[in-house]
């Protein structure tokens, strides 16, 4: 798990065209995914085109349902080699700390988990992070508004 310092960074803003950023997330980007065991693998990450709000990645050996995270479960983003998994693979990823990101999310049983990825280049990172932040924050706002609306209706 990452250190507390800087864990929930949704404030890293880039000067990126929002349409390009959303296309980057919807059509997908190849990144290096660090699994809990074994060596890092290149995987394509994307949000379903119908915007079902699930971040998915293509893993040949797993069921499709095992390779996804609900956008609602994303708690934050941590940049750099802040997790123990990144520190374990640091030698293999020399010089890529600026391209490293951990998505902190709530797992199936309520435990905090992290998805650790390394981008191929800085522009890819700027676009994907901007698109993902937009979708996560939009979903959070919609969730808060729908709860507020339901509470107001039940109070009447």
Whether residue 25 lies inside any domain: the answer is yes
User: Is the model's pLDDT at 18 over the cut of 90?
Assistant: no
Per-residue model confidence (pLDDT) at position 60: 81
Per-residue model confidence (pLDDT) at position 5: 38
The CA-based dihedral angle spanning residues 75, 77, 78, 81, taken in that order and rounded to the nearest 10 degrees? 110
52-66, 80-94, 107-121: lowest mean pLDDT where?
A: 52-66
Whether residue 47 lies inside any domain: the answer is yes
In this predicted model, what pLDDT tens digit does every residue of 104-143 receive, in sequence order? Answer: 999 888 899 999 999 999 999 999 998 888 888 877 666 6
Whether residue 13 lies inside any domain: the answer is no
Question: What is the CATH number for 40?
Answer: 2.30.29.30
Whether residue 24 lies inside any domain: the answer is yes
Whether residue 7 lies inside any domain: the answer is no
Structural contact between residues 82 and 98, judged by C-beta atoms closer than 8 angstroms: no
Total structural domains in the chain? 1
pTM: 0.78
Whether residue 93 lies inside any domain: the answer is yes
Per-residue model confidence (pLDDT) at position 45: 95
Whether residue 6 lies inside any domain: the answer is no
- Domain coverage including residue 89: 18-155
């Amino acid at each position: 798990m990452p250190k507390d310092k800087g864990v929930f960074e949704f404030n890293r803003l880039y000067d990126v065209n929002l349409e390009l950023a959303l296309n980057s997330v919807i059509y997908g980007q190849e990144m290096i995914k660090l699994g809990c065991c074994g060596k890092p693998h290149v995987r394509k990450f994307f949000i379903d085109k119908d915007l079902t709000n699930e971040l998915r990645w293509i893993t040949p050996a797993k069921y499709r349902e095992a390779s996804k995270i609900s956008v609602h479960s994303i708690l934050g983003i941590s940049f750099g080699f802040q997790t123990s998994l990144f520190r374990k693979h640091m030698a293999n990823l020399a010089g890529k700390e600026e391209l490293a990101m951990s998505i902190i999310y709530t797992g199936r049983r309520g435990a905090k988990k992290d998805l650790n990825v390394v981008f191929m280049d800085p522009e890819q990172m700027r676009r994907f992070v901007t698109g993902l932040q937009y979708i996560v924050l939009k979903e959070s706002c919609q969730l808060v508004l729908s709860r507020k609306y339901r509470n107001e209706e039940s109070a009447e």
